[in-house]
């Protein structure tokens, strides 16, 4: 986290935010940003040492923070953390699913144990908190809600939040499945669409975010 802290803005005062993978990196920076907006941030990860250090730094800056040791792939542990937050803080307004792992080994050399752990954290660990929170809030996909789904991605060194209506699938696509875009009247559409592929009877457009987003503020003006 940055040592230079901006003044607190009270726009999230009274709200509670849970950030998984919040002990370091993007998770810790997100916790700091939400806390600066007035929220009580609950950071969660498997490393108690990282959590303690981050909470101390946030509290030293006068921000409201607490921590929970959590393995997001453990369904019982996820449920216990939500129950504890409800009992101690009385509410949960914001969930940031940030916990993830990255294996640097080439795909072909990964063991099944590596693969199982990757899927447990990055896929199961992303779904469990949403399912648990949705059940507690009584949400269904057909009901209107003021809550939003935000996908956090990294493009060209920039961390971006993409507001989407829903995340329907996480799919694995090989290069040979992607077909070039046909000639279209609007050149800018083809520029943004990197390719097309069909899966489960649906045609999916593959958007290249580095083409959509300008490289600098001057281009955005």
Residues 6+ apart with CB under 8 A from 68: 42, 43, 44, 51, 81, 84, 85
pLDDT for 20: 93
- Per-residue model confidence as pLDDT tens digits over 47-76: 999 999 999 999 999 999 999 999 998 989
- Within 8 A by CB and 6+ apart from 154, the residues are 160
Residue 193: predicted pLDDT? 76
pLDDT confidence of residue 3: 36
Give me 2's structure tokens.
């940055």
Cα–Cα dist 30/63, whole Å: 13
Q: How much is the average pLDDT of 189-210?
A: 72
- Of the pLDDT bands very low, low, confident and very high (cuts 50, 70, 90), residue 174 is confident
Give the E-state strand segments of the chain in sequence order.
16-20, 40-45, 65-69, 94-96, 149-155, 158-164, 193-199, 202-207
Instruction: Report the candidate in 12, 154, 16 with the shortest Cα–Cα distance to residue 96.
Output: 16
Instruction: Name the residue with higher pLDDT: 65 or 135.
Output: 65
- Among all chains, which residue has been given the structure tokens 């290069």? 175
* Distance between CA atoms of residues 80 and 212, nearest Å: 41
Higher-confidence residue of 149 and 90: namely 90
Report whether pLDDT(170) > 70.
Answer: no
What's the CA angle centered on 156, arms 160 and 178, to 5 degrees? 90
With a pLDDT cut of 90, the percent of the chain lying above it is 30
- Whether residue 211 is predicted with pLDDT greater than 70 in this model: the reply is no
Helix-helix angle 48-60:25-36, to 10 degrees: 30
Other C-beta atoms lying within 10 Å of the C-beta of residue 203: 9
Indicate the pTM of the whole model.
0.63
- What value does the mean pLDDT of the chain take? 77
Q: Of 89-93, 178-182, 216-220, which range is least confident?
A: 216-220
CA proximity to 68, closest of 41, 86, 43, 49: 43
Closest CA to 66 of 34, 109, 26: 34
């Amino acid at each position: 986290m940055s040592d230079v802290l901006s003044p607190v803005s009270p726009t999230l005062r009274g709200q509670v935010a849970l950030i998984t993978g919040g002990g370091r990196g993007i998770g810790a920076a997100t916790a700091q940003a939400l806390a600066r907006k007035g929220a009580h941030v609950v950071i969660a990860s498997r490393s108690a040492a990282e959590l303690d250090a981050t909470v101390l730094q946030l509290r030293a800056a006068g921000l409201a923070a607490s921590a929970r040791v959590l393995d997001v792939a453990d369904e019982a542990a996820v449920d216990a953390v939500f129950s504890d937050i409800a009992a101690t803080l009385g509410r949960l307004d914001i969930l940031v699913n940030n916990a993830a792992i990255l294996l640097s080994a080439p795909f072909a050399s990964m063991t099944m144990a590596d693969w199982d752990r990757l899927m447990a954290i990055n896929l199961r660990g992303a779904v469990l908190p949403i399912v648990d929170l949705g059940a507690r809030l009584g949400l269904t996909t057909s009901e209107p809600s003021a809550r939003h789904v935000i996908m956090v991605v990294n493009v060209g060194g920039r961390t971006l939040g993409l507001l989407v209506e829903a995340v329907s699938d996480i799919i694995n696509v090989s290069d040979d499945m992607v077909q070039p875009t046909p000639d279209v009247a609007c050149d800018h559409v083809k520029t943004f669409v990197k390719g097309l592929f069909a899966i489960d009877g649906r045609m999916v457009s593959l958007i290249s975010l580095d083409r959509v987003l300008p490289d600098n503020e001057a281009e955005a003006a």
